[in-house]
Structure 1
């Protein structure tokens, strides 16, 4: 399967405004459909406005976005998004979250690890602390999204086209022509982050489904002994788990959007969601997005808050997530 990830927003507060939503979105496309979808997208978008020869979501109107959603739904494309309201966060709260994550990088470093490994972990910790606030927040959303889209896409397609689980092609919108320090850091850290998370929240597999293609290409590996045990459980732990290193290492690139139609699609949908949440897109344009979202606990859109013990009222009272929840894709085939 092909997975394309893009972001929308500054990941900074917007003084004088009620909300400042930023969003990271991923589209998952079945490999068997990708060539035909590319051709149909090129035809559909031939007359759309462009910026420097490239289609940008911010330039599209409601009918154009709705037409794209109709096309994507016909190919069973899946969308997943993670959202944050930066106006609900103080600099101190973000700094505290960043400091805690940096501390966790070294939390399990002890004399059982090779000195070179400890040196690498220390370097990653220092880079984490150097990240500007907006990049730090973006990586939190990106890491969360990576787990969500992988888990949901696998569950969705193992019940329909299980062969799609044989290979994952990841393309993330690049910041520059060559990988930045932030991108290198995230690519190194996301694998142990997800591996550690999987101990507390095991990756979901559907009992009785055909995972032969997945297990053939990504055999389970022993859970590293240095990872923490599930919260509140000092004895039980799984001996093996998913190999996130292989899943995210084999075919992951940071690409330029003009080279990947999938990134352009991710840009359009992620931008449309942000415009909808900010009140700058009419329902005609964003309601069809629900046909790409999978019904679940997060309704295809997950809100992230880095605050402690505070609930963001702008998200709780927003009608967009509630309206998108009606008519979404179902996980189990009918």
Structure 2
């Protein structure tokens, strides 16, 4: 049953089944004699440990920006904003722990030990900017040893940190960037680091090992002036793959994922729009291609149950009392109607 109108149309259909740990196989028809396809290499699972928005760090927004940038590159990112995420069981679901947070305390015996054990056993640690100031109100010198130094003070300015080790896998082929940032200075410097960048004579980015784990740190990343740069996204992507032992593990390659392509589209003129004309629209993907780009929490599996190729621009879905799923599809996203549109 389908109802058409000029503004929108409603189509009942079943789209996706999302289930924890298993999928009911009878829902998925398989032809007799059809061989099971080889399981694809896994995406890298990253836990982004942030915090409530303090100062200009705004970890929730930085998470969303990074997730959008790295999702199409086969990196799944899950967000947490409290140290309660630091448990042995939770960390076991992830390949890399990324910290960008204003978190000054934790339970050293439980949460701190879970973090250290994760790294010692081979988990990757990507520690960004204010991570160098984390947990300093707790008696946790092991974290300073893990990171390789501790935050001391900062000024501010526009600068370009210079690359001093172009042969390391994280740096190889990367050109760096110039932007406004805080000019971090550190204390309690470790001796077991490989320095990758310096700002003047101050170590700025480095890598090290901790047990079987790999650690990356950079002082870059105070606010959006750094976090919005594709070069910064690339640096974090390189760090994630290196700390996830991409030279030893066959992770899913970005080359095996669909490329998102955009085209110009007619959009209503809005003179008050601060970011300019919104005239880019993504070309649609097939259901199988969309699934390849889907990001879901660890422990879940997503499979296509049914698809309706006539549905292209859904803006709302809901179930009725008979168990049917109705989709509202609009030819354009709703806009306010004004005298100038």
TM-score, length-scaled by structure 2:
0.24
Larger Rg: 2
Does 1 or 2 have the higher relative contact order (CA < 8 Å, sep 6+)?
1
TM-score, length-scaled by structure 1:
0.24
Compare the two structures and name the one with the higher helix fraction: 1
